[in-house]
Structure 1
Amino acid sequence: MSKLGEKVYASPPAPREKQYTSEYQDPPHSSTNVALFFLEKDHTQRRKLTLHFTRTANTASFLPRQEAEKIPFSSNKFPEIVYHFSVKPNSVAAKTMKQTIKVCEEPGIEGEEKYSATSLESMIDFSTSGNGKNHIAVSTVAKETPAQKYSITGVKKMGNSEAVVCHKQNYPCAVIYCHKTHTTKAYLVSMAGEDGTKVKAAAVCHTDTSKWNPKHLAFLVLKVKPGTVPICHFLPEDRVVWVSN
């Protein structure tokens, strides 16, 4: 189990988005880790966590839907894509773009519905297409601070057991990778840092991890096995979770 006060990070996305079916190659406390893994009881029991909130370096903005839909977004159209964005085919930027498209084209795990949105409108359409009404978007609100201990001062469950989590990808324009499952709980967690910093952090708990890669970082950090307990993580500021009542 995770130790009380163990340091975890809320960092900007790594160049390659890590999927639940993938292994994590980075060290557990690497600055490229994008999730703050913890057990569900850690926030329900109001424990202290050592966290590091950082600002995202990804400033790509959305294109209007009408414009975005005119630009190809598939591996077999990649030469046309790099030409459109004036990116050299063999550059680091081109390799990053190709990896983003690859991640978006990979199939989801069993029970997961996924979609990569290239416009704000398409993200909203996908995220609000499920059951329920009064869809709301929840994200982390925090200023950048040094790593420090935070005390959990309040926990509010958001919506039902269906949630859509959306992650910003590395691309010349905004591309948002969203995935929807029926085994995800969303929370809004209020915390206070040792220096007095107030944080409202979005967190999700995955109640069924039986299909995840056994070598996923979450299991290594928390010392648990797939499918045994819910796995939770905070969301960095450039991510959003959609829920409905």
Structure 2
Amino acid sequence: MKFLPLLIVVVLVATHAASPPELYWKSMLPATSMPKFITELLHPAVIVGKAGGDTTIHVRHNITFGNQNYAYAAVSDTEFNNIPNTTLFFLEKDMKPGHRMNFQFMQTSNQSFFLPREVVKSVSFSSGNQMAQILKEFDVKAGSTEAKVLKETVELCEKPGVKGEEKYCATSLESMVDFITLKLGKNVEAFSTEVNKGTKKQEYTIKQGVKKVGEAKVVVCHKLNYICALFYCHKTETTIAYTVPLVGADGTKVKALSLCHTDTSGWNPKHLAFQVLKVKPGSVPVCHFLSQDNVVWVLCHK
């Protein structure tokens, strides 16, 4: 990776001191604990170079293709027939101790970190004519797999939300906090799925301790495939959030987050959930677990 000549270089490395994003979190959300998953995305090593008015941001990156469809799209018969034997969706009534299901809690292969807000603000974010500038700023080769992923991610952020959804793509931890406080206020809790070790596809059993942690006003932030940590956050008022203790056949313990969508009347009738559960849109709540790279924000009731 080549650096521009006459660089003005700023290097941020991991330290024990609180980073600006952490300090901002504490100032805006002093009573809210930061999920472990979020803390692992802080303290990146970032090199920002400037020369002749151009900016190049050099970061470690490993972006991959993945499921980034949060628009409740239809699934073809061919796609449905090729789905592995995994519990993708389930009914709210099944979320009880003793119920078993096959699942795999995947960790994202995208190890991108949060960049400081002042750095992110200087970067273009548009799939149109600015796409070439994004690739240049992040030192990504045009026509590469990474370039295609970046374009798909930006296009997803530009699409309008579905009916009743308020969406926002947060390019920094600070902007995520701003969106949360705008939509929910400062009296909030943040949750993410926690797994005590690496997982494989296996049978999990729900244990005692299923707990409803949020209802109606819930914001969910999904980590997208991008060169820096980028989250697709959306707020709905037809969602219930639960924490669900699970134990795998090999003893793996998971504190899983489950979302139940109480109004699916506006979803595409060919959505995968209806095909898996054999129910009709709007008939019953549809539930699913969240992977470890998601954050759920709910109103605090303590």
What TM-score does the superposition give when structure 1 sets the normalisation length? 0.87
Matched, 1:202 2:252: no
Q: 1:188 aligns with which of 233, 237, 243?
A: 243
Which residue is 2:74 aligned to?
23
Provide the rounded CA distance (Å) in 2 between the counterparts of 1:195 and 1:189. Answer: 18
Which residue is 2:191 aligned to?
138
Q: 2:176 aligns with which of 111, 120, 123?
A: 123
The correspondence of residues 4-19 of structure 1 with structure 2, limited to 5 A, is 15-19=66-70
* C-alpha spacing 1:19/1:218, structure 2 compared with 1 (3 Å): same
Contact 1:16 1:99 in 2 (8 A): no
Which residue is 1:226 aligned to?
281
Contact 2:86 2:102 in 1 (8 A): no
Which residue is 1:151 aligned to?
205
Contact 1:156 1:187 in 2 (8 A): yes
SS at match of 1:100: helix
Provide the rounded CA distance (Å) in 1 between the counterparts of 2:97 and 2:126. Answer: 45
- The one-character-per-residue Cα deviations of 1:62-103 (angstroms, maximum 9, x if unpaired) are 111111111111122111111111112211211111110110
Alpha-carbon distance, 1:225 to partner:
1.5
Higher relative contact order (CA 8 A, sep 6+): 1
Q: CA RMSD in A?
A: 2.5
* C-alpha spacing 1:124/1:35, structure 2 compared with 1 (3 Å): farther
Percent of aligned pairs sharing the same letter = 52
Provide the rounded CA distance (Å) in 2 between the counterparts of 1:32 and 1:123. Answer: 34
Q: List structure 1 segments (4+ residues) > 6 angstroms apart after TM superposition.
A: 29-35
Which residue identity lines up with residue 93 of structure 1 in the other structure? E
| Stretch deviating more after TM superposition (29-38 or 189-198) | 29-38
Unaligned runs of 5+ in 1: 1-12
* C-alpha spacing 1:30/1:83, structure 2 compared with 1 (3 Å): farther
Which residue identity lines up with residue 60 of structure 1 in the other structure? S
The correspondence of residues 41-56 of structure 1 with structure 2, limited to 5 A, is 41-44=93-96, 46-56=98-108
Q: 2:143 aligns with which of 90, 97, 101?
A: 90
Alpha-carbon distance, 1:236 to partner:
0.4
Alpha-carbon distance, 1:146 to partner:
2.6
Contact 1:207 1:231 in 2 (8 A): yes
Matched, 1:110 2:163: yes
SS at match of 1:36: coil
- The structure with the largest alpha-carbon Rg is 2
SS at match of 1:83: helix
Provide the rounded CA distance (Å) in 1 between the counterparts of 2:219 and 2:86. Answer: 17
* C-alpha spacing 1:32/1:193, structure 2 compared with 1 (3 Å): closer
Alpha-carbon distance, 1:141 to partner:
0.7
What TM-score does the superposition give when structure 2 sets the normalisation length? 0.71
Unaligned runs of 5+ in 2: 1-63
Which residue is 2:115 aligned to?
63
Total equivalences in the alignment: 234
Which residue identity lines up with residue 212 of structure 1 in the other structure? W
* C-alpha spacing 1:19/1:35, structure 2 compared with 1 (3 Å): farther
